[in-house]
Amino acid sequence: MILNFVKMSGAGNDFIMVDNRQKIIPASRYSVLAKKLCRPRVAIGADGLIFLEKGKKLALRMRYFNADGSEAAMCGNGVRCLAVFAYFSGYKKRKFALETKAGLISVTLGHLPEKLLSSQAAVVRVKLPPPQSLKLDFSLKLDDETINASFLNTGVPHTVIFTDNLSAVDVNNQGRKIRYHQKFGPAGTNVNFVRVINQHNIHIRTYERGVEAETLACGTGATAAAILSGIKGLTRPPVKVKTVSGEVLQIDYQQTGSKIADVYLTGKVQVNFIGKTEIQEVQV
């Protein structure tokens, strides 16, 4: 069968978007498809595969699968891309909520291009679920060194390490050690290395669980880094987070002591291309 898709990017996080509201693809095949289609250089290539489904309570639901076929509860940049994809797929609302495995996510579409495939980027703001499982400044032993880390779940788990020399970090090597560390087992963690520039600006590099490599951006990682830097007194909202792609994500939130509420992630969304591919091995 022929699968229609749209390739999109949110601050450098790239995704394959599929409208499956008519259940053309059985959900049991989502993981297999993600591993097949997300492979770089030999397939479409992406950080993840996102399916737009009909929701159980709301009109829309997001299912997100990493490049390795594992399913994640949600993806911040992926939600932003999905909001634009849904709009140009006929859901003509600029403010709505959708279902994810991390809970309901509210989205607001700002600037939109006149058509889906455009040189202009869209701007999308999403309200993320309240962060959970805060752990500040704990020691983490890695081989022959011990590092200081903090942890926050912003829809998916994130470990954050602050550093003054971000460019020198071996993200893939050190990130992989932390991602699979027994402290975070069995689910593991995403890993973010962060340099604080000033009270409203930080730079970030992220090792993403499921991609198993450094990615150009991570929305929930940027959110975790901004919030943790605020709790530690290093920044205050709004925080602009510069990603490896060069794109900047803005994080807004309300803080009362260590309690965080009203978390918003804002950034650009770009359509890379529209395409179709044959997926004969998928049985429907």
**Catalytic site positions:** 75, 218
- Asked if residues 242 and 203 have their Cβ atoms less than 8 Å apart, the reply is yes
Sign of CA dihedral 262, 219, 198, 175: positive
- Asked if residues 237 and 225 have their Cβ atoms less than 8 Å apart, the reply is no
Alpha helices of 193-263 — where are they, by DSSP H?
219-231
The whole-angstrom separation of Cα 267 and Cα 251 is 9
- Asked if residues 213 and 220 have their Cβ atoms less than 8 Å apart, the reply is no
**Helix 76-88 vs helix 219-231: crossing angle, to nearest 10:** 130
Place of tokens 């920044």: 235
The torsion defined by the Cα of 182, 183, 186 and 191, in degrees rounded to 10, comes to -100
- Asked if residues 200 and 206 have their Cβ atoms less than 8 Å apart, the reply is no
- Asked if residues 199 and 129 have their Cβ atoms less than 8 Å apart, the reply is no
